Amino acid sequence: MEALSRLLLALVVNGVITGFLIGAPNRVIINISHLLFADDTLIMCEADQRQVQALKALLFCFEAVFGLKVNLDKLELVPIGLVPNTRLLAKTLGCKIASFLMTYLGLPLGSASRASSIWDTVIEKIERRLVEWKRMYLSKGGRITLIKSTLSNLPTYFLSLFPIPASVAIHIEKLQRDFL
């Protein structure tokens, strides 16, 4: 993956593809062209036929040199904003088209960050765990340990991206209190 990262960076440095620019014009601008997560890769570029063709060529070269097959069945093109040539770009890459309202690595992407509805999955996970645990005979110490080690950690992953609404925090605390 380090090699793929360097190949993508070379495309950006040479102006073949443009990543996602972050920053104000009078400050340092960061160009993010790709993100790697375990065996997942997010690649960002303009909705431009030449950039997509260059990306496809890079993926085929990567396959040939390193012997790692790129699974085109899992490849998805996710347009952000109005992209009139989405079908053509997807056909060029040989991939599916997905919408930006999606779940990636368990996090809902494209939804309003302050909406309490994005926390429904966390609350459902907590409630599922509690249903299993309530069937077990546990001491008060055992219940406290489960709350601290598991229930308190379930929202942590979501908190890395989304602020928790007060109503959701109160609801989670109530579930924990009722279990205790």
Distance CA 78, CA 146 (A): 39
pLDDT at 99: 83
State pLDDT tens for residues 124-158. 999 999 998 988 888 999 989 999 888 888 898 88
What residues contact 33, with CB distance under 8 A and at least 6 apart? 8, 9, 11, 12, 17, 18, 19, 20, 43, 44, 45
Domain ranges, ordered by start, for the chain: 2-100, 116-179
C-alpha distances (whole Å) from 147 to each of 53, 132, 141, 151, 173 are: 51, 13, 10, 5, 10
Mean pLDDT of 4-23: 89
β-pairing verdict for 76-77 and 96-97: parallel
Residues 78-113: tens digit of each pLDDT = 888 888 899 999 999 989 998 877 887 788 887 777
**Which token pair is 43?**
């690649």
